[in-house]
């Protein structure tokens, strides 16, 4: 059963081939057998899952249940879950049990999906390797000496190891697409505002966006149908009709104009990754798509602009963790100042503290214009590059990341090398555009991803092309050797 896609599981549940309780128990058994090998899941909610599955079976037996009814999934531990610890990968929130569900979690619960547990992640979603988690690193099921990517590495690894058929994730600078690529699965970052951020612990509020991860584009479409909604509780949520993302999956790619940014194929791209991505583009061309070379001239400014804007917003967002209201508090503080200082020093890891320092510095009087103001201007230029490009092309494609999964520790001492992991993904967040990664090859025994970027609210077209690509290739069906 763990090799079925979500689409297949839905059919099986609706045709009574197996019950949600059986399915849920099957995944819970796999999690208890295999999770120690990967550390992908940090909280398992077995009893709650079986209760939800029982209710889902009742709903299914009445007929007319929503598509996700009875399907087991995992939530990234950045989404607040009522009565279930939500740590955000940090010691700071190791003891935090929210009294409410995030809207995304609520949407899945409304439709009867079954939460199996919460996935490991980089601390406060800061990272590209899952090495910054308080709960230890996640191992890549394709090669356990290598990282799964981050920050949604737990969700990606869990799907690759068949511990769940789908999961939620978030992407501030690449955290859905990069781990999806490194673990050989599919993942979509929707347009900013498409999915509610309410109850999702904030990292950089103008960039954060939640999205689905699964093995196929079709499954991502099914998950997005459930996740996307207008939410009055999130002031940046967009009040726009949510289409049925599965309805257009069958459209042909004939005549589609695909822009290939020359900046995405320059120095720094692993030659094996380049070959795989170019082959994928040729496959789409053979189906009738037209490839057009384009330029996104300000691409190289995206990483520096991001590493001013994201830390600036993070420093403001993380100021709420002060040892007073909730979260970690140091022992025996001498006075108020000592409590603030030690609670934050002991509760936050090194990377989080680095970002808070950078962000506070960039926002200080005297530096604000030089750094933050400048970065916002660069952000405008990047956005303009994309809107110019979308005047002549329907989609933009290139690699998701520069290379296949790297080994643990390989970039640990060099934050800048780590930051460059997101060189192809960050611009999309700065512009607020949707982007997806789908598996497109195996390089050095590890998967690599093709990135598909669309115009605002063009998720249906991205998913359609991704699905068509998966009809003519089988990269999404490859399984890590250790997994059966
Ligand atoms: N790797 C990037 C960072 O560390 C992006 C993380 C994310 O998308 N959450 O900021």
Among the listed residues 137, 156, 161, the one whose alpha carbon sits nearest the alpha carbon of residue 147: 137
Whichever domain contains 66, its CATH number is 3.90.1300.10
Active site includes 151?
A: yes
DSSP characters for 235-251?
A: TT--------TTTTTT-
- Asked, as a colleague might, if the bond just before 81 is cis with ω within 30 of 0, I would say no
Quick check: 328 and 91 in contact, CB under 8 A? yes
Quick check: 215 and 5 in contact, CB under 8 A? yes
Q: Which domain holds residue 245?
A: 1-484
Active site includes 403?
A: no
Whole-angstrom distance, CA of residue 133 vs CA of residue 397? 31
CA dihedral for 300, 304, 309, 315, sign (positive or negative): positive
Give the three-state DSSP class for 66: coil
Of 20, 133, 146, 175, the active-site residue reads 175
Quick check: 118 and 163 in contact, CB under 8 A? no
φ, ψ dihedrals at 249, nearest 5°: -60, -30
Active site includes 235?
A: no
Q: Which of 119, 310, 359, 401 is the pocket-test mutation for ligand 1 (most atoms within 8 Å of CB)?
A: 310
Whole-angstrom distance, CA of residue 313 vs CA of residue 360? 9
Does residue 172's CB lie within 6 angstroms of at least one atom of ligand 1?
Answer: yes
Whole-angstrom distance, CA of residue 399 vs CA of residue 403? 9
Among the listed residues 290, 212, 253, 225, the one whose alpha carbon sits nearest the alpha carbon of residue 468: 253
Of 151, 186, 302, 403, the active-site residue reads 151
Task: Render each residue's pLDDT in the chain as its tens digit; 484 residues.
Answer: 999 999 999 999 999 999 999 999 999 999 999 999 999 999 999 999 999 999 999 999 999 999 999 999 999 999 999 999 999 999 999 999 999 999 999 999 999 999 999 999 999 999 999 999 999 999 999 999 999 999 999 999 999 999 999 999 999 999 999 999 999 999 999 999 999 999 999 999 999 999 999 999 999 999 999 999 999 999 999 999 999 999 999 999 999 999 999 999 988 899 999 999 999 999 999 999 999 999 999 999 999 999 999 999 999 999 999 999 999 999 999 999 999 999 999 999 999 999 999 999 999 989 999 999 999 999 999 999 999 999 999 999 999 999 999 999 998 788 888 888 899 999 999 999 999 999 999 999 999 999 999 999 999 999 999 999 999 999 999 999 989 7
Atom nearest to 418 CA in ligand 1: 1
Quick check: 476 and 470 in contact, CB under 8 A? yes
Cβ neighbors of 268 (< 8 A, separation 6 or more) are 402, 420, 423
Whole-angstrom distance, CA of residue 127 vs CA of residue 403? 16
> How many domains is the chain partitioned into structurally?
1
Q: Longest Cα pair distance anywhere in the chain, in angstroms? A: 70
Whole-angstrom distance, CA of residue 202 vs CA of residue 88? 10
Buried b (16+ CB within 10 A) or exposed e, 406-440: bebebbeeebeebbbbbbbbbbbbbbbbbbbbbbb
Q: Which residue has the tokens 């209201």?
A: 325
Of 20, 76, 299, 315, the active-site residue reads 76
Whole-angstrom distance, CA of residue 78 vs CA of residue 102? 9
């Amino acid at each position: 059963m763990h090799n079925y896609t979500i689409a297949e599981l839905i059919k099986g549940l609706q045709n009574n081939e197996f019950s949600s309780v059986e399915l849920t128990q099957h995944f819970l058994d796999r999690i208890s057998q295999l999770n120690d090998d990967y550390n992908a899941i940090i909280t398992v909610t077995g009893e709650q899952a079986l209760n939800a599955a029982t209710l889902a079976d009742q709903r299914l037996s009445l007929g007319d249940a929503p598509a996700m009814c009875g399907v087991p999934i995992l939530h990234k531990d950045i989404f607040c879950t009522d009565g279930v610890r939500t740590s955000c990968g940090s010691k700071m929130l190791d003891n935090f049990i929210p009294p409410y569900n995030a809207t995304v979690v609520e949407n899945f619960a409304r439709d009867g999906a079954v939460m199996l547990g919460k996935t490991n992640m980089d601390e406060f979603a800061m990272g590209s390797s899952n090495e910054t988690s308080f709960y230890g690193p996640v191992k890549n099921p394709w090669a356990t000496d290598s990282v799964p990517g981050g920050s949604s590495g737990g969700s990606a690894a869990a799907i690759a190891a068949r511990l769940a058929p789908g999961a939620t994730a978030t992407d501030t600078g690449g955290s859905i697409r990069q781990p999806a690529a490194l673990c050989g699965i599919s993942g979509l970052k929707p347009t900013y505002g498409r999915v509610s951020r309410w109850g999702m612990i904030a990292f950089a509020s103008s960039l954060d966006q939640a999205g689905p991860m699964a093995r196929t584009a079709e499954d991502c479409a099914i998950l997005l149908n459930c996740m996307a909604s207008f939410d009055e509780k999130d002031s940046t949520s967009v009040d726009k009709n949510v289409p049925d993302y599965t309805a257009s999956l069958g459209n042909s790619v004939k005549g589609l104009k695909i822009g290939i940014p020359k900046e995405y194929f320059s120095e720094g791209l692993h030659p094996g990754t380049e070959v795989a991505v170019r082959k994928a583009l040729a496959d789409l061309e053979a189906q009738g798509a037209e490839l057009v070379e384009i330029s996104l001239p300000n691409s190289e400014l995206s990483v520096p602009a991001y590493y001013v804007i994201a830390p600036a917003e993070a420093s403001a967002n993380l100021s709420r963790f002060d040892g007073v209201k909730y979260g970690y508090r140091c022992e025996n503080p001498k006075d108020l100042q000592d409590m603030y200082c030690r609670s934050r020093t002991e509760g936050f890891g090194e990377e989080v503290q680095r970002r808070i320092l950078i962000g506070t510095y960039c926002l200080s009087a005297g530096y604000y214009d030089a750094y933050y103001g400048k970065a916002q201007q660069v952000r405008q230029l990047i956005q303009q590059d994309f809107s110019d490009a979308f005047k002549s092309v329907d989609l933009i494609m290139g690699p998701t990341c520069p290379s296949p999964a790297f080994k643990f520790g390989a970039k640990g001492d060099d934050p800048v090398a780590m930051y460059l992991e997101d060189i192809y993904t960050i611009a999309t967040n700065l512009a607020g555009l949707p982007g997806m990664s789908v598996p497109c090859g195996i390089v050095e025994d590890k998967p690599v991803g093709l990135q598909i970027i669309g115009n605002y609210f063009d998720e249906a077209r991205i998913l359609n092309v991704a699905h068509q690509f998966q009809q003519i290739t089988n990269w999404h069906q490859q399984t890590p050797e250790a997994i059966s």
